[in-house]
Amino acid sequence: MIANREVDSAACIISSMEFTPAQADVLKRLFAAGFRPIAIPPYESVLCVHRGECAALLTPVENGGLRLMAPVTLIVDGNLSVRLKKPGGDVFVWKKSEVAATEERLRQLEAFREELEGMLEVGNA
């Protein structure tokens, strides 16, 4: 499901969004590092990127760079999830589907966030 969205969204992003040279440079670095564009309803007009099951929404900033629009999260059933605290442990939820917030997933999500923010800071400097 993600692979099809990557192909469709890459074409959509290129054709429907305008990027400054600084934003284009950031995108090139992100794509070279394995981040991929993805279209996730209802965020088709926002630049969404993912790597593995981790995803982020990006938005332009005044200096021509990009920044995180919301906290990074996991993709559950092809959609952005919300992290919830439950008596049995934290979970990432999309509608009725949930995925356990295991230590491994949380480490992956944190590494994804750190690398993404680092690349965005370089582009925004």
Tally the residues of the chain. 125
The encoded tokens of residue 51 equal: 């790597």
Q: Quick one: pLDDT at residue 15?
A: 54
Over the stretch 42-82, which tens digit does the pLDDT of each residue have? 877 788 999 999 999 998 888 788 999 999 999 999 999 99
| Nearest residue to 101 (alpha-carbon basis) of 114, 113, 112, 89 | 89
Count structural domains, the chain. Answer: 1
| Nearest residue to 44 (alpha-carbon basis) of 68, 8, 18, 71 | 8
pTM of model > 0.85: no
DSSP codes of every residue in 66-93: EEESS--EEEETTEE-EEE--TT--EEE
**What residues have CB less than 8 Å from 119, skipping those under 6 apart?**
26, 29, 30, 33
CA–centroid distance for 7 within its chain: 16
Over the stretch 103-116, which tens digit does the pLDDT of each residue have? 999 999 999 999 99
- Quote the domain boundaries for residue 19: 2-124
Q: Give me the sign of the Cα torsion angle 74, 32, 22, 118.
A: positive
